[in-house]
């Protein structure tokens, strides 16, 4: 029977895979050292939120994303992600109102 993967290793594996999918190489990461940072991120934000942030950061990063930047700026990334989601909702509502106004 396979054991369930620990969240800290799930975070590190997701990071590794996300960078590989976008840039075509696996980033060098010392799992034994970075497991503590990954655990702290999961404890602070929950696993699903951290996984979403990884996808978001890898998507918006202009250069190769760095684990150190991600772990230190996760709170800023979360704020930016939420602001973009709110902005998309407001813009959709404004488009709907404009179409309604133009139709009248």
Residue 26 lies inside a defined structural domain of this protein:
yes
Per-residue pLDDT, averaged over 10-22, amounts to 94
When divided into structural domains, the chain yields a total of 1
**33-65: pLDDT as tens digits:** 999 999 999 999 999 999 999 999 999 998 889
Note the pTM of the prediction, 2 decimals: 0.84
Residue 28 neighbours by CB distance under 10 Å: 7
Residue 99 lies inside a defined structural domain of this protein:
no
Structural domain boundaries, residue 17: 7-74
pLDDT value of residue 49? 96
Residue 68 neighbours by CB distance under 10 Å: 10
Instruction: Tell me how far apart the alpha carbons of residues 78 and 83 are, in angstroms, rounded to a whole number.
Output: 9
| Percent of residues, the chain, with pLDDT higher than 70 | 96
Residue 14 lies inside a defined structural domain of this protein:
yes
Instruction: Tell me how far apart the alpha carbons of residues 73 and 70 are, in angstroms, rounded to a whole number.
Output: 5
């Amino acid at each position: 029977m396979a054991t369930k993967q620990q969240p800290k290793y799930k975070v590190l594996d997701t990071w590794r895979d996300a960078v590989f999918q976008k840039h075509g190489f696996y980033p060098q990461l010392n799992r034994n050292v970075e497991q503590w940072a990954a655990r702290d991120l999961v404890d602070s934000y929950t696993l699903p939120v951290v996984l979403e942030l990884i996808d978001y950061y890898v998507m918006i990063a202009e250069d190769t994303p760095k684990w150190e930047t991600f772990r230190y700026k996760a709170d800023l990334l979360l704020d930016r992600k939420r602001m973009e989601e709110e902005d998309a909702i407001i813009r959709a509502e404004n488009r709907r109102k404009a179409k309604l106004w133009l139709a009248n």
